Structure 1
Amino acid sequence: MSSNSQVQNQEPTEEPTKETNQEEKEAQGEEKDAAKEEVKAEEKEDKNEEPKEQKNEEKKEKKKEKKDEKKKDENKGSCKDFIYNPRTGEFLGRTASSWGLILLFYLIFYGFLAGMFSLTMWVMLQTLDENVPQHQDRLPSPGLVIRPHAIEIFYNRTNPSQYEQYIGELHDLLQHYNDSIQDGNDLCLVGEYTEQDKEPVKKVCQFKRSILRQCSGLPDTSFGYAEGQPCIIIKMNRVIGLKPKGDPYINCTAKRNTPLPMLYFPPEGRLDKMFFPYYGKKAHSEYVQPLVAVKLLLTKEDLDVEQTVECKVEGSDLRNSDDRDKYLGRVTFRVKVSQ
């Protein structure tokens, strides 16, 4: 009896557990189905949303294109209206009367400026002397130059082609000093300045080519180059109003142990005061500056040997030893004559 009663007591407890398990399974299945349906619904919504976004973007792009076209049309219209607006009659943004007033203003303004400029130039020109510069920036002491125009005079005396150029330069220089031309100039007082500040036409003192004697190119057309004793002509640069004090002359020395014999023409290499002062190219158009010719008396021992010669202005207040300018009052050249 006891065993039967126990069996009867156990059977009702097992049946409800089976029912609960089935209910749980059914509930879980329903939940899975619901989740699947939600996923499907979301997928459908995503699919539906994508074409909507694309359509919206396309609409926006079309609107932008229409706006850009409208702006272009407006710009074209505004450019045409700016050049000429037929409604208002404006050209480049202004009417004809406005353009007329502006042009009149600038005509008066620039005319006034041109008048002021012309007036100031005229006043300034009244203070200038056409013959003498208002301010001389040049140094008061002139420089020296030589002819032939060469620092190195190298040649073979047996080959005329090597010194023809030197001879040609000397002949060209002395053309203005021909006696036939200088006879038309004035005979001035030797050793005295030829001052003529108040005279409108300045006279020119004679300097004849024949004064240079052996270096004149008259008795010897080769100026001594053929015989190996070349002539060098030295002249001083022109400076307006220059009146050197003392008795200026040219002195040349050779840089070697023994003195180099030389001849000077005019004698002693003098630069006479009568050729000073110089009044400028316009007032003194026919002016000829004094020259000094130096003949180098080279011997057989001096041939094929380079000779360095320096010439300076001596005997006056003219400067001849400025380290910054090697041509101020002096000049240096080299000579080499080959057999």
Structure 2
Amino acid sequence: MSTKEETPADGDKPQTSSWKDSIYNPRTGEFIGRTAKSWALILLFYLVFYGFLAGMFTLTMWVMLQTLDDNIPTYRDRVASPGLVIRPRSLDIVFNRTDTKQYGQYVQHLENFLQQYNDTVQEKNELCMVGEYYEQDDQEEKKVCQFKRSLLRQCSGLSDTTFGYTEGKPCVLVKMNRIIGLKPRGDPYINCTAKRESPLQMQYFPSEGRFDKMYFPYYGKNVHSTYVQPLVAVKLLLTKEDYNNELTVECKIEGSDLRNSDDRDKFLGRVTFRVKVVE
């Protein structure tokens, strides 16, 4: 008996899968293993998820911004008491009083710094009540009290354009750093001493080296843009015996609740500089 090999009909050929089916399978309609409905649900989930995260972030930022003030920082890393600085901007003032080139840099620095204190500029500001804080909580743009450079008298650079450097009796300007809202109690004034056995004669301008309360408080540069700090000028009355010797001078703010003796900060309420006049 003979046998015949049965061959499958064309329609019964075994179906084989290829690597292309893993990308798109035409029989099931799957793309990368998922149907269109499955991909749509995944896309919808991530749209809702990331939309929720974006909404939470936006809400958090909005709430945080409501707590901020454009003029006063919420968190201030500065100390409550101001530091002291001097002008000219040097802690070592060394010069020959007969050599204009040596002290010319100090004179020019003082002149440039005092331009904002010129009487013609300050006359545009307010005449304030002496001895009283100038509080302006109800005003958006804060006004400024006058501080004319003529108040510095012999250290104003008006009558003596060399600020005493040509005669060997230099002037040094002392000012406090700005602190928003600062209202020093008492009657703050500058007191300078030379670190030596015999005292050094000095003159203070304005009288007694006082910072008047009318220049406080300061409201920040956004609303107090033309504000200038009050100054105290110290004229060092050096004699010929003082020439060619380095003198260390320390200036402190006294008469108030402002700190001036913190060993961790040498500029908190005080400043130390050296002066040497060569002849």
1:213 corresponds to 2:147: no
Report the Cα distance in structure 2 between the residues aligned to 1:156 and 1:116, rounded to whole angstroms. 68
Post-superposition Cα deviations, 1:162-203, rounded to whole Å, max 9, x if no partner, equal 222222221221111111111110000001111122222321
Matches within 5 A, 1:106-145: 106-145=46-85
Post-superposition Cα deviations, 1:279-338, rounded to whole Å, max 9, x if no partner, equal 111121111110011111111111110000000001111111111111111000001111
Residue identity in the other structure for 1:312:
K
Report the Cα distance in structure 1 between the residues aligned to 2:124 and 2:161, rounded to whole angstroms. 25
Report the Cα distance in structure 2 between the residues aligned to 1:229 and 1:297, rounded to whole angstroms. 5
Post-superposition Cα deviations, 1:28-83, rounded to whole Å, max 9, x if no partner, equal xxxxxxxxxxxxxxxxxxxxxxxxxxxxxxxxxxxxxxxxxxxxxxxxx86x776x
- Equivalent residue number for residue 131 of structure 2: 191
Report the Cα distance in structure 2 between the residues aligned to 1:138 and 1:325, rounded to whole angstroms. 12
1:243 corresponds to 2:191: no
Report the Cα distance in structure 2 between the residues aligned to 1:217 and 1:89, rounded to whole angstroms. 91
Unaligned runs of 5+ in 1: 1-76
Matches within 5 A, 1:33-48: none
1:200 to 117, 140, 144: 140
Report the Cα distance in structure 1 between the residues aligned to 2:21 and 2:203, rounded to whole angstroms. 91
Report the Cα distance in structure 2 between the residues aligned to 1:94 and 1:213, rounded to whole angstroms. 88
Distance of aligned partners of 1:95 and 1:159 in 2 relative to their CA distance in 1, 3 Å threshold: farther
Larger Rg belongs to: 1
Report the Cα distance in structure 1 between the residues aligned to 2:250 and 2:136, rounded to whole angstroms. 35
Unaligned runs of 5+ in 2: 1-17
Residue identity in the other structure for 1:330:
R
- Equivalent residue number for residue 266 of structure 1: 206
Matches within 5 A, 1:150-229: 150-229=90-169
2:258 to 318, 324, 330: 318
Report the Cα distance in structure 2 between the residues aligned to 1:209 and 1:295, rounded to whole angstroms. 15
Residue identity in the other structure for 1:211:
L
Report the Cα distance in structure 2 between the residues aligned to 1:93 and 1:215, rounded to whole angstroms. 87
Q: Give me the CA root mean square deviation.
A: 2.1
Distance of aligned partners of 1:104 and 1:164 in 2 relative to their CA distance in 1, 3 Å threshold: farther
Other structure's SS at 1:131 match: coil
Other structure's SS at 1:315 match: strand
1:329 corresponds to 2:262: no
Residue identity in the other structure for 1:212:
L
Residue identity in the other structure for 1:325:
D
Size of the alignment, in residue pairs?
Answer: 261
Report the Cα distance in structure 2 between the residues aligned to 1:233 and 1:243, rounded to whole angstroms. 21
TM-fit CA distance, 1:100: 4.3
Matches within 5 A, 1:48-63: none
TM-score normalised to structure 1 length = 0.71
Matches within 5 A, 1:243-322: 243-322=183-262
For CA contacts below 8 A with separation 6 or more, give which structure has more relative contact order.
2
Post-superposition Cα deviations, 1:214-251, rounded to whole Å, max 9, x if no partner, equal 21122222222222211111000111111111111000
Report the Cα distance in structure 2 between the residues aligned to 1:157 and 1:310, rounded to whole angstroms. 22
Residue identity in the other structure for 1:314:
E
TM-fit CA distance, 1:107: 2.6
